[in-house]
Structure 1
Amino acid sequence: MFEPGHLHRSSTGGMPGIPEFSVDVRYDVRNDPAEGAMLHFRMTGEIEGKPFEDEFELHRDTAFNFASSITRIAGKHGLHPNFGPVLRNHKEYDLMFEDIRNKLKAVPGEPVNLDHLLKDGF
């Protein structure tokens, strides 16, 4: 389920090979005095009965690679990338991408600072 600023994905584990999980991804824009606009993410949930919480931030110009970061964080807590919270429903991913674009007031073709890629863990 997607709503602006929040994506919820879950699975009851009823399909063979797909673990039981419930993951919430919340995000908002924060202004850092040194770095400028940053997209802050907070992920919470349970994967196979184990609760987790994690947070990370992406620079404005690298924020559109959010799915990679979300997948990496989910994997760190035990969810295989094939079952990740974003990739399972492309329509909701598109809605999230558009919401982030609107929140950041970004337009296609803006340059990316390669130093930000290193700072953001890519």
Structure 2
Amino acid sequence: MELDGFRKAVNSADYLAKVKIIKVESFQEVDGSQRHVFTADVVTTYKGSTHKQISYEMFVERGEDVMCNSAPIYLALCKSLNGSYYWPGTGSEFKPTPVINAWINENRVSLKLARTPAGWCD
């Protein structure tokens, strides 16, 4: 089950990496939503451009909690037309597990070459 969700995220997003979140900044938007800007150290990039550190935006409804801990996670992101990264929604963050780690190791080369079909980032 967890692997199905992970594979869907990999196929639906522009970028996949194992990251460690180091900072979150929150901003109140005019429309009442909240914008969170995450900064993370990149442990390993599996799909998309390679970075040492990445920032991405998450928009949520006002008052919605954002969880952040320092444990590394797998993160699937979309890339906007202006080149910035954004969180596509629930189901794009995964804790490392033996099943996911094994799948990543088996598919590492094909992930780098994979093109993203129409998915979450359109």
Q: Does the TM-score normalized on the shorter chain lie above 0.5?
A: no
Q: Tell me: higher relative CO, structure 1 or 2? Use CA pairs within 8 A at least 6 residues apart.
A: 2
Q: What TM-score, normalized to structure 1?
A: 0.30
Structure having the higher strand fraction is 2
